[in-house]
């Protein structure tokens, strides 16, 4: 059931078994898993069903490191979280991504791929993926098209990898009805957690304080609390919660907010294909992204190049992924950018500040670029391609100086805004350089293409203009068996705090070069199973009584007709002199 926190009485107290802070991919996955196990929980979501700028503003802060956008357009602060703006890429981490490497400081997970394997398989249903199979040869056979062919890799330095695409699933829309039907899950909208309270020794969380932007205050008491607000906001909320531990909750070893990572992305080179390989769609992002021509068994796929494990070990590199990037006629123009925004709107991607009318007028004002770019994408005409480049993402090396801290500036709730200092090491630059070089050599050896590379990155004073992040915010509450090396343990429980867990990519100690959503979901399923075992399955299912909430909460503002009957199911109880929900 859904409750608009703005309409509850001042000072209401919510009691539950598990309190999940954040209703994004991790939070919703976890809530549904607990629901199946018969465990009562509540989800606290800062926003509503749709984006609004007042709530979105709470994510904004200061960037003090590598030029980097980390708020508008790459995080979404409403039901479904960042699933509202993701592209759907899915691939599990490689087995060696979990290993400790002697040339990568602070690397390795407390467990291996075998620990997450069963959860990766289950996630395929949740994310609406195809078969649990990532073998390139199998997919090529299933698609069976002449323009979908694997390259004849020969040197042993480069390998094929396959990713699948989620539609993409927008969790707030896809699973809203399931959450509404549940008798065990209550979702509080517009509920901003501003403090995590603990006992005097900071060994147990006693409750969380909630405030709405309209000034309503509430408190949530629970047996177990789970922080699932994202790779940046998880650290921020812990640092803000400093009533007992001055440096922030769980920050006795100065680790909260450190090791901030994203996957850096670079485009380079000039690729000249041989005639027989010029139309292969499997490795080009302009042709393989959500393209029905590169699909089978209801799943869209793509292929990327990666260095083999032997090469990574021999040359002491990080992991990486590379694909071709064809540049179309009119690309980069105002008309083409407007057309791209319209296409993303069809996929329900959040686009802060976008006005459809403005995009239509822009396209009308630039008809040649708009039509040329659109026809090239639609008809996939190679004759209209201006050039082809290589694009890569590289694993970020864990770096304690790359971190999230608190700004001196405050948000509307009076909380310190976030300050992000993203830093990358020379090993990242070297991995880009060697990956591009080895792939260029392989393409020439195979007779696929000649590649003219640009100036190496290693040793340069700054990153190139075509450099950007991928908005995969990771590492700030990293997992490790030792509290001196990590914020949470292998079960995602905070070291030293008996009933506080962290979910999401902030717990990743090393991140590989794959897209994090599938791993976030797998870890959330694993955490749900762990919590269900810890709490014990109830003898009888918990059923929340449905009462007339109209007199209690008043009218639910800004809700559409579908939302009204959901909101009317709010649970109301009175215990002693406290208001309780």
Query: In the prediction, which pLDDT does 279 show?
Result: 81
Among 433, 398, 441, CA closest to 315 = 433
The pTM score is 0.88
Written in H, E and C, the secondary structure of 55-121 is HHHHHCCEECCCCCCCCECCECCCCCHHHHCCCCEECCCCHHHHCCCCCCCCCCCCCCHHHHHHHHH
Rounded Cα distance between 513 and 93, Å, is: 8
Q: Are 499 and 510 in contact (CB under 8 A)?
A: no
Q: Name 539's Cβ contacts closer than 8 Å, sequence gap at least 6.
A: none
Residue 579 — very low, low, confident or very high, per pLDDT cuts 50/70/90? Answer: very low
Residue corresponding to tokens 């990713």: 163
Question: Judging by beta carbons within 10 Å of its beta carbon (0-12, 13-18, 19+), is residue 468 exposed, middle or buried?
Answer: middle
CA atoms in the 13 A half-sphere facing the CB of 21: 29
Helix 356-365 and helix 367-379: axis angle, to 10°?
A: 100
| Comparison of pLDDT for 570 and 427, the residue scoring more | 427
Q: Where are the beta strands (DSSP E) in 318-448?
A: 320-328, 385-394, 403-410, 416-421
Q: What span, in angstroms and rounded, lies between the C-alpha atoms of 97 and 158?
A: 17
Phi, psi of 298 (to 5 degrees): 75, 10
- Provide the pLDDT for residue 570: 35
Domains for the chain: give ranges and CATH numbers. 1-54+72-129+167-238+472-581 (3.50.50.60), 136-165+265-395+425-462 (no CATH)
**Residue 42 clears pLDDT 60, i.e. is over it:** yes
| Residue of higher predicted confidence among 579 and 438 | 438
Judged by average pLDDT, the poorest of 66-70, 368-372, 419-423, 554-558 is: 554-558
Query: Which is higher by pLDDT, 550 or 222?
Result: 222
Q: In 3-state terms, what secondary structure has residue 185? A: strand
Res. 329: pLDDT tops 80: no
Give the list of residues 6+ apart from residue 332 with CB closer than 8 angstroms, or none.
none
Task: Give 30's pLDDT tier (boundaries 50, 70, 90).
Answer: very high
Region 265-293 average pLDDT: 90
| pLDDT tens-digit map of 63-112 | 999 999 888 878 899 999 999 999 999 999 999 999 999 999 999 999 99
For the segment 537-562, the average pLDDT, to the nearest whole number, is 36
Binned at pLDDT 50, 70 and 90, residue 461 comes out as confident
Instruction: State the DSSP code for 413.
Output: T
Residues in the chain: 581
214-245 tens-digit pLDDT: 999 999 999 999 999 999 999 999 999 999 99
The residue ranking higher by pLDDT, 170 or 326, is: 170
pLDDT above 90 covers what percent of the chain? 74
Tell me which of 133 and 288 has the higher pLDDT: 133
Instruction: Report the distance separating Cα 142 and Cα 52, nearest Å.
Output: 43
Q: Which residues fall within 8 angstroms of residue 510, CB to CB, at 6 or more apart?
A: 97, 98, 104, 106, 107, 108, 109, 395, 398
Q: What is the pLDDT of residue 563?
A: 35
């Amino acid at each position: 059931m859904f409750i608009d926190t703005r309409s509850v009485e001042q000072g209401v107290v919510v009691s539950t078994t598990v309190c999940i802070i954040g209703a994004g991919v991790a939070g919703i996955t976890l809530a549904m898993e607990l629901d199946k196990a018969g465990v009562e929980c509540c989800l606290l979501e800062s926003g509503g069903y749709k984006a609004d700028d007042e709530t979105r503003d709470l994510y904004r802060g200061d960037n003090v490191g590598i030029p980097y956008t980390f708020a508008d357009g790459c995080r979404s602060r409403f039901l479904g979280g960042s699933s509202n703006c993701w592209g759907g890429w899915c691939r599990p981490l490689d087995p060696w991504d979990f290993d400790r490497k002697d040339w990568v400081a602070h690397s390795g997970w407390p467990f291996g791929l075998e620990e997450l394997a069963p959860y990766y398989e289950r996630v395929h249903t949740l994310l609406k993926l195809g078969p649990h199979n990532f073998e390139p040869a199998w997919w090529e056979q299933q698609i069976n098209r002449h323009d979908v062919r694997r390259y004849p890799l020969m040197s042993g330095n480069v390998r094929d990898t396959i990713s699948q695409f989620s539609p993409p699933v927008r969790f707030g829309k896809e699973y809203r009805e399931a959450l509404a039907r549940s008798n065990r899950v209550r979702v509080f909208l517009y509920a901003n957690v501003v403090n995590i309270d603990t006992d005097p020794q900071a060994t147990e969380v006693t409750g969380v304080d909630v405030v709405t932007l309209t000034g309503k205050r509430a408190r949530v008491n629970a047996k177990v609390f789970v922080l699932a607000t994202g790779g940046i906001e998880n650290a921020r909320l812990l640092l803000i919660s400093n009533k007992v531990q001055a440096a922030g909750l769980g920050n006795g070893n100065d680790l909260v907010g450190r090791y901030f990572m994203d996957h850096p992305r670079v485009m380079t080179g000039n690729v000249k294909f041989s005639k027989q390989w010029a139309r292969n769609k499997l490795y080009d992002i302009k042709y393989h992204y959500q393209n029905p021509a590169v699909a089978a068994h209801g799943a869209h796929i793509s292929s990327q190049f990666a260095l083999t494990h032997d090469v990574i070990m021999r040359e002491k590199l990080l992991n990486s992924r590379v694909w071709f990037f064809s540049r179309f006629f009119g690309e980069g123009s105002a008309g083409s950018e407007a057309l791209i925004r319209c296409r993303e709107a069809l996929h329900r991607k959040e686009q802060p500040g976008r006005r459809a009318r403005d995009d239509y007028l822009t396209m009308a004002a630039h008809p040649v670029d708009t039509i040329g770019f659109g026809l090239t994408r639609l008809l996939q005409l190679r004759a209209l391609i201006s050039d082809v480049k290589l694009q890569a993402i590289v694993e970020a090396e864990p770096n304690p100086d790359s971190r999230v801290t608190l700004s001196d500036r405050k948000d509307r709730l009076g909380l310190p805004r976030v300050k992000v200092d993203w830093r990358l090491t020379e090993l990242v630059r070297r991995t880009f350089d060697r990956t591009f070089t080895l792939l260029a050599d392989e393409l020439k050896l195979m007779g696929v293409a000649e590649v003219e590379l640009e100036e190496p990155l290693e040793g340069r004073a700054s990153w190139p203009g075509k450099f950007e992040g991928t908005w995969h915010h990771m590492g700030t509450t990293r997992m490790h068996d030792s509290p001196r090396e990590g914020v949470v343990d292998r079960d995602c429980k905070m070291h030293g705090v008996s009933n506080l867990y962290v979910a999401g990519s902030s717990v990743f100690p090393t991140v590989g070069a794959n897209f994090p959503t599938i791993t976030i979901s797998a870890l959330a399923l694993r955490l749900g199973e762990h919590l269900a075992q810890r709490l014990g399955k109830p003898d009888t299912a918990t059923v929340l009584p449905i009462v007339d909430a109209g007199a209690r909460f008043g009218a639910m503002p800004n809700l559409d007709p579908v939302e009204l009957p959901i909101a009317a199911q709010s649970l109301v109880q009175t215990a002693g002199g406290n208001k309780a929900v």
